């Protein structure tokens, strides 16, 4: 089944591959920690340096391309330097979603503010995660290695519109669950 889906959605998977292969190999670079940088990626995916938002899209894309995560910490890494930065929720931010159906199978293509393309599948799961200070779980997708993206509110509502209701887990409250299918996998969005 996986091979069939890979063939069926080969064009979308190729776009995802092209998006990720253009990135530098930060996972291979092992410089020592240079220190902490006054850089914050806020909840909306805005990059804030020394209190001011970085407005140049090319600069933000460059920084996003050298982003790495170790445990709960995020870093900007070059072959010679490693700077720790702060991230409110997730360093990337999904701003667009596209749904395609072929031969009865559905796939979701997500695009981040920095141009990353992600096909939601087993290797790039969509999940709901609880964060301190957040009343409700937040929707995130694994983009690359261990870097996740928060879905914008508009994108999440769009995906909820496409989702299907399923009977709830009998061990829980027995209510309904909302899930979305992509590349033959189901991803739970919540219970009600």
Q: What is the pLDDT of residues 22-40, one digit of tens each?
A: 789 998 999 999 999 999 9
- Model-level pTM greater than 0.85? yes
Q: What is the pLDDT of residue 18?
A: 74
* Contact residues for 59 (Cβ-Cβ < 8 A; gap 6+): 47
Q: Is residue 5 part of a domain?
A: no
Residue 121's pLDDT is 95
Q: What is the mean pLDDT of the chain?
A: 89
pLDDT for 1 beyond 70: no
Would you put residue 158 in left (φ > 0), alpha (ψ -120 to 50) or beta? alpha
pLDDT average, residue stretch 2-6 = 74
The residue-averaged pLDDT of 132-153 equals: 91
Of 24, 32, 110, the closest CA to residue 67 belongs to 24
So what's the pLDDT on residue 171? 46
Tell me the pLDDT tens digit for each residue of 51-103.
Answer: 999 999 999 999 999 999 999 999 999 999 999 999 999 999 999 999 998 88
Q: How many domains does the chain have?
A: 2
Full domain range(s) for residue 42: 15-87
What is the C-alpha to C-alpha distance for residues 61 and 44, in angstroms, rounded to an integer?
Answer: 15
- Look at the alpha carbons of 46, 50, 52, 57 in this order and tell me if their dihedral is positive or negative: negative
CATH number at residue 99: 2.30.270.10
Whole-angstrom distance, CA of residue 179 vs CA of residue 177: 6
Q: Which of 3-12, 36-45, 65-74, 121-130 has the lowest mean pLDDT?
A: 3-12
* Share above pLDDT 90 across residues of the chain, in percent, rounded to a whole number: 69
Q: Residue 125 domain-assigned?
A: yes
**Final residue before a domain boundary, out of 54, 87, 120:** 87
Distance CA(178)–CA(120), nearest Å, equals 16
What are the E-state strand segments in 88-134? 92-102, 105-112, 117-119, 126-129
Is the pLDDT score of 161 beyond 80?
Answer: yes
Last residue of a domain, one of 45, 66, 87: 87
């Amino acid at each position: 089944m996986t091979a069939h889906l890979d063939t069926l959605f080969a064009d979308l998977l190729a776009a995802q591959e092209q998006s990720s292969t253009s990135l530098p190999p930060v996972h291979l670079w092992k410089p020592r920690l240079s220190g902490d940088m006054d850089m914050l990626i806020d909840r909306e995916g805005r990059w804030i340096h020394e209190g001011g938002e970085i407005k140049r899209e090319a600069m933000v894309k460059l920084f996003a391309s050298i982003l790495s995560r170790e445990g709960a910490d995020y870093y900007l890494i070059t072959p010679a330097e490693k700077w720790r930065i702060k991230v409110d929720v997730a360093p990337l931010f999904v701003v667009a979603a596209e749904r395609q159906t072929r031969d009865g199978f559905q796939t979701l293509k997500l695009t981040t503010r920095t141009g990353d393309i992600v096909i939601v599948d087993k290797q790039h799961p969509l999940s709901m995660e609880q964060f301190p200070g957040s009343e409700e779980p937040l929707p995130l997708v694994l983009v690359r290695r261990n870097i996740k993206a928060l879905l914008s509110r508009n994108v999440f509502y769009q995906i909820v519109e496409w989702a299907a209701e399923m009977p709830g887990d009998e061990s829980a409250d027995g209510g309904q669950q909302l899930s979305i299918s992509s590349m033959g996998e189901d991803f739970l969005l919540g219970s009600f």
